[in-house]
Structure 1
């Protein structure tokens, strides 16, 4: 094998290795972009909603956390609307 053939072979192997490494890098970059898009679309809106609920005003009286502190007369009157409507009616 002559020097010329060895140099061409070495250059060809180096270019092939460069092509493989570049292709692998682009593939990994594509995967990273997909993960970034997933976070932008699915995770960040959920975190914003959680933050908004943390700064939301306190729940109105009688719904549903203070249901035990409501007088019995109001409970018996509101039972005709059903237990679900009771909390909404006391908030309105």
Structure 2
């Protein structure tokens, strides 16, 4: 997700964006951002006047779910977000 797209999405909302680094998981093809990447993203958010809180990643040793609520659709690299049935109502 780009900082500019995020700023456009939240521009008329009274929100504070929580930035939580992705915890890596063997099953998924994604990696955690580096500190430098997070610094760069927060600099962009500052310039775009997006309110945010920078959180520290926790739970890596237990494969905590920060951004990992995904299920493989097949043996390839396609994933779909898991949605609770209550979210659909």
TM over 0.5: no
Select the structure that is richer in helix.
1
Structure 2 length-normalised TM = 0.19
Which has the higher relative contact order, 1 or 2, with Cα contacts under 8 A spaced 6 or more apart?
2
Select the structure that is richer in strand.
2
Structure 1 length-normalised TM = 0.19
